[in-house]
Amino acid sequence: MEKICVAIRVRPSTSEDSVNGSFWKIEENRISLYKTHGSPLSSSFYAFDHIFDESSTNASVYNLLTEDIIQAALDGFNGTAFAYGQTSSGKTFTMNGSETDPGVIPRAVKDVFSKIERMSDREFLIRVSYMEIYNEEINDLLAVENQKLQIHENLERGVFVAGLREEIVNNAEQVLNLINAGEVNRHFGETNMNVRSSRSHTIFRMVIESKGKDSGSSDDSSIKDIVRVSVLNLVDLAGSERIAKTGADGVRLKEGKSINKSLMILGNVINKLSDGSKQSHIPYRDSKLTRILQPALGGNAKTSIICTVAPEEIHIEETKGTLHFASRAKHITNCAQVNEILTDAALLKRQQLEIEELRKKLQFELERGKLEMELEEERKSRDQWIRENQMKIESSSSIALSDCGTNDCEGCSRHRFSEECSGSNSTSQEDIFKSPGIKKAPSAFVVKRSKYKTLPDCSPPPHAINNVADEDMWLKMNNGYVADLDSLQATPARKFQSFPSDTTHGCKSEIEKYEQKVQDLRRQLELANAKINELERKNSDEAPLSKQLMGERAEHQQETRIIQVFPLRSSESVENFKESFEEVLSEMQRFASGGKLSTAKVLSTMSDIGAQLFAALEANFAADRDDERSSTGNYALIDEQKAFRERMHNIITSLELSDSSKTEWQERSSLCSCEHKNFVAINVTQQLKLSLAFVR
C-alpha cells in the first residue's frame, strides 16, 4: 500500500498587476497565499510531496515524479502520470514540452528504451496506443476511422477500450513519430485565455510485456515462462475553465461543459477515495475518463499527479480549487502489484519455491526451538550445579567452624542461637525450642522482657503458667537460657521435649556423621576401583583366548570349504583314471578269455594294477584334501596320469612278452582248467569294477 505522489508546478507569471496585493509564496514543499507586506492567510496553507516554482524545468519534474514509475512499469507494475489544472496553466507543456525542453511523455519514451537496452536478461514487447476523450466520446488518434469506441472490462485485461489500434514499436523514434501523428488529429481550439487550448483529454498508453531470457540452466526453465504485462498511462487533461473568462460559445461552450463535467466527476472520485470509507460507492462509471483511470485511482497502479497553477491574482480562486483537489488526492492509497501471466510449469515452479522457502522457515523455527530447549536445560543444570556448590561451601564452612575447639565451638553455637532468638517473632512456634544461647554472664538467670508497651495489671494465674511451661523449661532458663515470654504465652499447651545438656556433644556427633559419610564414600570408591581392575584383568586374560578362537574359526571355515568341494574334485580324479583303467581291464579280459595266462599270473597282475590304481587315487585325494589344487598342482596331476598310463602300458607289454614264450602244452590244457581261469579272471575283473564304482 502506498500513497499517490502529488506535486504542484507554478508556471511563470504573465502579468505584474496586483489589485489587492495578494501573491503565492513557495517555501520548500509548502505553498501559501500572502498579502503584500502582511502575514500569510491561515486558510491558504498547503503542503505536498514536491513543489516546482516558476524556474523549474521539465527535466526536474520528470526526474522527481515520473522516472521511478517508468522503472516500475518495466518491472511489471502498472503506472500512471497525469497533469491536472485550469486552462492555460501549463499542463500540455509539462506533458509534451517543446523542442528545447521535452516534456514528460517524450522523456518517458526515451527512458523506456534506454532502460530496456541495459536489461539484457529479459526480452520485451512494446505496444503503444493514443486516444482522446472529446465530448465524452473516445476517438483513436492513430486511426482516424476509429471513432466513438466503447470501454470493456474482463478478468484478463481489466479495463480496456475495444477497437483501439495498438502499434508494436522497436525504438523511441518510432514512438515519437506516432505521437506527432496523433497530435495532428487531436482537437485544439482558441479561447480568450489560450490561443491553442486543448479541448479533449488525451491518454498515451504503452503496454509493456517482458519475460526472462533462456539461460540454459534447469532452474530457469520455468521462470522464463513467466510473462510480465504492465500498462503505462501518460495523461494530459484538458483544463477546467470559467465561461466568463474564456468567452466560449457555440462549439467551444459545449466542449467546455464536457471538460468541466468529467473533471467534476474526477473530483468526486478523489473525494470519495480520500474519505477512506470502503463502504461508499465510488462513481467511476459516471465518466469515461474516470472509468479508464480506475486502476490508477485507488487500484493496482503507481500514480503521480502534477497539478499546475497560475500565479496571477486573478486566478486565485481557480488555484485554490486546484490545490484543494491536490490535497484530497494526497490521501488516496493504491495497492500496486506485479502483473504476471503464469503458465502451468511456471506456476508449479513458483509453488515449489514457496514450499521450499516455507520448509526452510519451519526448519529454522524447529532448530531455534531445539536450541532454546537446550539452553533452558543448560541453564537449569548450571543453576543446579551452583546450588550444589553453595551447599558444599556451606557444609564446609560449618565443619570448619566446628573444628575450632570445644570451648570456641560452644561459644560460637550459643552466639548464633542468641542471634536467631533476636528474630523469634518472625519464626514459627516450633522454632522456639532450638539450642539456647548464653549471654556474658552464663550463670545468671536472664529472661527477655515482654515486648508489650504496658505491663499487665496482674500476674497470670497458676493454672495458666502450668499450661505454658513445664518444670524442665524453668530449669533450662535458670541455667542461662533466654526465653521470649511473648512466645511462651502464645505457645499452646503441649508436652515439651527436654533439651540436650551439652552443645559440644551435638557438634561432635555432626562431625562423626560427616566423617562416617566420607569413609562410606571412600569405601564405595575403593570397591568401584577394585571392580574396574578386575574387569581389566579379565579382559587381558580373555584377549589371547579370543585371538586363538578367531584363528580356529578361520581354520574351520577353510576345512568346511575343502569338504564342500572335495566330492567334486574326487569325482574328477576318478574320471581322469577311468580311461586308462578300462583299457587295462579290456586287455586282461582278452588274455584271460584266450587262456594264455595262468591263474597265478592273472592274480598277481590284477593285484599290481589295483595297487597302482589305488596309489594314484590316494595321491589325488590327498592333494584335494589339502587344497593344493592350483595351477602347479594341475600340471602335477597331468604328469601323474601320464605315469599311470605308462605303468599300465608296461604291464600289458610284459603280459604280451610272457605270452610269446609260453610252451605248447599250456595251449592244450583241459577245457575245465581254461574255464576255471576264465571264471577267476572274470571274478577279479568284477571285483575291481566294484571297487572303482565304490570309490567313485
- In whole angstroms, what is the distance from residue 590 CA to residue 10 CA? 143
3-class state of residue 275 by DSSP: helix
In the three-class reduction of DSSP (H, G, I as helix; E, B as strand; rest coil), residue 278 is classed as coil
Task: Kindly state the cell numbers that stand for 523.
Answer: 569405601
Q: Which residues contact 74 (CB under 8 A, 6 or more apart)?
A: 112, 115, 116, 119, 124, 208, 210, 230
548 is in an annotated binding site: no
Q: Is 87 annotated as a binding residue?
A: yes
Q: Is 488 exposed, middle or buried (0-12, 13-18, 19+ CB in 10 A)?
A: middle
The half-sphere exposure of 331 on its side-chain side, counting CA atoms within 13 A, is 13
8 A C-beta contact, residue 274 and residue 328: yes
**Is 92 part of any known ligand binding site?**
yes
CA 607 to CA 630: how far, in whole Å? Answer: 32
Strand stretches in 92-176, DSSP E: 122-134, 137-140, 151-154, 158-161, 167-169
Amino acid at 619: A
224 marked ligand binding residue: no
Residue 566 gets the label, from left (phi > 0), alpha (psi -120 to 50) or beta, of alpha
Angle between the 503-594 and 671-695 helix axes, to the nearest 10 degrees?
150
What are the respective helix, strand and coil percentages of the chain, to the nearest 5?
Answer: 55, 15, 30
Ramachandran class of 440: left when φ > 0, alpha when ψ lies in -120 to 50, beta otherwise: alpha
The 10 Å Cβ neighbour count of residue 141 is 25
Q: Is there a binding annotation on residue 538?
A: no
* 91 appears as a binding residue in the annotation: yes
Which secondary-structure segment (H or E) carries 35?
A: strand 30-35
Q: How far apart are the first and last CA of the chain?
A: 99
The cell numbers describing 32, all together, are 501559501
Cα 307 to Cα 270: distance, rounded to the nearest angstrom: 14
- CA 408 to CA 415: how far, in whole Å? 10
Q: Phi/psi at 191 (nearest 5 deg)?
A: -130, 180
669 annotated ligand-binding residue:
no
From CA 573, how far away is CA 608, in angstroms rounded? 20
What's the rounded Cα separation, in Å, for the pair 258 and 250?
A: 13
Q: What single string gives the DSSP state of each residue in 190-222?
A: --SS-SSEE-SEEEEEEEEEEEE---S-STTTT
Locate the DSSP E strands across 420-488: none
- 230 known ligand binder: no
Q: Which string of b and e fits 606-640 if b means at least 16 CB within 10 Å? A: beebbebbeebbeebbebbeeeebeeeeeeebeeb
Annotated binding residues for ATP: 85-92
Annotated binding residues: 85-92
